[in-house]
Structure 1
Amino acid sequence: MLTQERRRKILDLLEEQGSVTVARLSEEFNSSESTIRRDLVALSQLGKLNKVHGGATVLSQQFLKNEDTVEEKSLKYVDEKVAVAKYAASQISDDDFVFIDAGSTTYLMTKYIKSTKATFVTNGIAHAKKLARKGCKVYVLGGQLKDTTEAIIGLVAASNLQKYNFSKAFIGTNGISEKQGFTTPDTDEAMLKAVAVERSFVAYILADHSKFNKVSAVTFAPLDAGCIVCDRCDDETLKQKSVIKEVV
């Protein structure tokens, strides 16, 4: 296995488990412990992890500089996202007026919606098509199309959203932290998410466990602004300071 590939997989494993030992990594990647130690030193110097005696731990709070494409997001934490999506869909009633944010978990959610008499507004092109095919009444926001996330964003979309009063909103996030709240890397997307939270009676923030203690460039809502629906949360401080529904 090439060095860069092994180091990428070390980071993936660390993100999933929170901490790893040199012995475990040596066995996992069939590499000597000295090689693994060099990997951990290099990754620590790059600011990717905390190197500790005998292994490494995930950074207590990671800053997200880049955003994955829709395709890349759809391949990560699939089982966890499905569990979150199923629970979120079950919260919709026929008399609801719902906003559904663009995103991989919210897209999965559309598959499991049974209350087809509810009315939906979305900024996700794929989401709108899926809802329409189910026979739902769905409105699509106008505005600028962001290619990487296939989301309608910008001032026009935010202005359109301002006139609605939603009973429920289902919103994705890139990061969740105690201090910075819910964050996302794009200012235009953050503006739209902020309006959606503000205009909703109940806002559900959908996230898998990898989003906790991550911070992206722009805060769109404080931690107490919505109910977090996640597969699991291992951070007791966040549990005490927010409303969290764990579904796995």
Structure 2
Amino acid sequence: MSDADRHRLITDLLKEQPFASVRDLQEYLGVSAATVRRDIDKLHEIGKARKVYGGISASEGAGAGRIAARPYNENRDIAVEAKRAIAEAAAALVRDGDSIIVHAGSTCFQLGLLLARRNVRIYTNSMPLAAHLGEHGTCQLTVAGGELYREPRIIHDPSAGLPSFFASRFFVGTQGISSEGLLESHPLLSKVIAELSTRTDEIVVLADSRKLSIQARHIVLPLSRIGTVITDDGLADADAKMLENAGVTIIVANASGQGG
């Protein structure tokens, strides 16, 4: 298969999904990781796609479009090392005695793992995180009440109104980030994030850098409501400038060389 053929297949794939990991492309193309990385570098260089930590994403305007959210189990295994590095940076913001909200999602789950045995009070609507903290944690835990929505793995009662819990920080993931704000495709996640945002002093977004190239259906929160974004070192200069211009503090977690 020629370079041009591989590049065409990769760009066609990115019209159907916003991100492909190096491993995804190895299996898809039947080539080595080194070949995949050269293809990624070339497509990034010519502007056909965007090189991000762990793989490649559709470039802005390249057909990424408005997409549906990935299933939790699928999203959990993407950019894992970047998510762990972001979670470590987020955990460093938490002090003993803090009351915080940790939202559902795979990066927030990584944060919860780090806080499990800390002297903190955690409110979460994440079924996987609540189960882990209940079995392995010593932190004070408050779990959202209501029904279990197996996708996207959250517990929610639509008739309950706002929770009584109030937090110094709300740690939340997102499907995408644009100049308009945080983006989500799942209507329930959009509703819950908006509700929980009223129960905190500061919103801290945990988002690996590929999220800044993903567009989704709903604007959940404007950037003016976001205090801090913690991301990885794949953050593009243009995206960093966009966040800074909106008054958002950026923390870059060093995930380079950690695998993936």
Q: What is the identity percentage for the equivalent residue pairs of Structure 1 and Structure 2?
A: 22
**Compared with structure 1, are the counterparts of its residues 59 and 168 closer, same or farther at alpha carbon in structure 2 (3 Å cutoff)?**
same
Post-superposition offset of 1:192:
1.0
CA distance in 2, matches of 1:189, 1:212: 18
- For residue 48 of structure 2, what is the aligned residue in structure 1? 56
* Equivalent position amino acid for 2:220 in 1: F
- Secondary structure of 1:120's aligned partner: strand
Larger Cα-atom Rg: 1
* Equivalent position amino acid for 2:102 in 1: I
CA distance in 2, matches of 1:140, 1:213: 32
Q: Number of matched residues?
A: 217
- For residue 240 of structure 1, what is the aligned residue in structure 2? 245
- For residue 179 of structure 2, what is the aligned residue in structure 1? 178
* Equivalent position amino acid for 1:148 in 2: E
**Compared with structure 1, are the counterparts of its residues 63 and 164 closer, same or farther at alpha carbon in structure 2 (3 Å cutoff)?**
farther
TM-score when scaled to structure 2? 0.72
Unaligned runs of 5+ in 1: 18-24, 30-35, 37-50
CA distance in 2, matches of 1:28, 1:9: 18
Unaligned runs of 5+ in 2: 23-30, 50-57, 255-260
**Compared with structure 1, are the counterparts of its residues 14 and 117 closer, same or farther at alpha carbon in structure 2 (3 Å cutoff)?**
closer
**Compared with structure 1, are the counterparts of its residues 130 and 54 closer, same or farther at alpha carbon in structure 2 (3 Å cutoff)?**
closer
**Over residues 165-185 of structure 1, what are the superposed CA-to-partner deviations in whole Å (9 max), with x where a residue is unaligned?**
211111110010002x00111
Post-superposition offset of 1:213:
3.5
CA distance in 2, matches of 1:8, 1:118: 45
Q: Does 1:136 align with 2:139?
A: yes
- For residue 167 of structure 2, what is the aligned residue in structure 1? 166
1:151 corresponds, among 137, 154, 170, to 154
Asked if 2 retains the 8 angstrom alpha-carbon contact of 1:155 and 1:188, the reply is: no
Post-superposition offset of 1:200:
0.7
Q: Does 1:224 align with 2:224?
A: yes
Output the aligned Cα RMSD.
Answer: 3.4
Q: Which has the higher contact order (CA 8 A, sep 6+)?
A: 2
- For residue 26 of structure 2, what is the aligned residue in structure 1? none
